[in-house]
Amino acid sequence: MSRGIQAFTPQGFADYELIDSGGFLKLERFGQYVTIRPEPQAVWDSTLSMPEWEMMAHVRFEPKSSSSGNWVKLKKNMPDQWQIKYAIQSIESKEIAFRLGLTSFKHVGIFPEQAVNWEFIADSVARMPKQPARFLNLFAYTGGASLAARAAGAETLHLDSIKQVVNWANENQQLSGLKDIRWVVEDALKFARREVKRGNKYNGIILDPPAFGHGPNGEKWKLEDQINEMVKLVLELLDDQYHFLILNAYSLGFSSLILENLLQSGDKKRKVEIGELYLEDRFSKRLPLGAFGRLRNF
């Protein structure tokens, strides 16, 4: 059973700020640089005017299609790559670091709302009665969750289907002064099926699947078609005695109640916590950025 729907936003992320949002755009600060990016959830009006946004911003993303576009630099000192840090509050403020960059698909290498999950992971790993905890990050992108788990002492496996993204995550590991994360480039569903057959178990797992995607060998991923099987496999991979799990989904119209139903599959007494992640701008507008479901049995 669930404990009710909650909403969480990162606290104490000094290197990130959502300055304003609206008009299907968001104005954000990453370290010392300010970006303007598309945001389909920001259906309201912005508080500041576009000329005010452009006075503050260093760079603006201009979409050319639904999946790609170009960055237009508004200030000459805007680099193509830069770094930011995040201090994990639940483990004596250990810092993890990220190399950011201007990609052709509007992302810069980090989803700052995920800091809420990094804190949950680090706290869970640190409190785990069985040490060292084994942690699995599926659909792992540039590795914020992997860095948080490793910083807290977990044996960490990071999996993504894109080699260049895994290499980027490895850069972040080095910038964070960490080592020994295990890197895997593979289709997440195939990997989970094989791990179940092998009888492998993990104390902590996070999966943050995209709406659509492809594996390294052209395997197709469609969230609504395959998430049920994926969650069943992941539940089998959890250690029977001590475990925690986060299921995150950023997909328009994908309710946290769907995640609750998936996680309670086969065990309606399982205590599942559900809710939304959001970012709040300077003018108190809350930008929703995904539903989550999570559980912890210790």
* DSSP conformation class of 133: P
Residue 272 tokens, joined: 């599942």
Q: Give the span between the Cα atoms of 247 and 231, in whole angstroms.
A: 8
Rounded to the nearest integer, the mean pLDDT of the chain is 94
Q: Which helix H or strand E contains 63, and what residues bound it?
A: strand 59-63
Q: Which helix H or strand E contains 194, and what residues bound it?
A: helix 188-198
pLDDT, residue 179, reads 97
Give 71's strand partners: 61
CA distances from 118 to 9, 93, 283 (A): 12, 12, 26
pLDDT, residue 250, reads 83
Domain spanning 2-10+80-296 has what CATH number? Answer: 3.40.50.150
164 Cβ contact partners less than 8 Å away, ≥ 6 residues apart:
none
> Could you read off the pLDDT of 158-215 as tens digits, one per residue?
999 999 999 999 999 999 999 999 999 999 999 999 999 999 999 999 999 987 788 8
Kindly report whether the global pTM for this prediction surpasses the value 0.75: yes
Q: What is the mean predicted confidence (pLDDT) over 31-39? A: 98
3-state secondary structure 191-233: HHHHHHHHCCCECEEEECCCCEEECCCCCEEEHHHHHHHHHHH
pLDDT, residue 252, reads 64
Q: What is the mean predicted confidence (pLDDT) over 83-98? A: 93
pLDDT above 90 as % of the chain: 86
pLDDT at 27 over 70: yes
Q: Give the span between the Cα atoms of 205 and 238, in whole angstroms.
A: 8
> Which candidate, 126, 150, 123, 116, places its Cα nearest to that of 136?
150
* Residues found in the chain: 298
pLDDT at 228 over 60: yes
Answer whether 124's CB lies under 8 Å from 244's CB.
yes
> Which candidate, 157, 143, 151, places its Cα nearest to that of 124?
151
For the chain, the structural domain boundaries read 2-10+80-296
Q: Is 290 left (phi over 0), alpha (psi -120 to 50) or beta?
A: left
- Residue 80, Cβ neighbours under 10 Å: how many? 10
Q: Which helix H or strand E contains 148, and what residues bound it?
A: helix 144-151
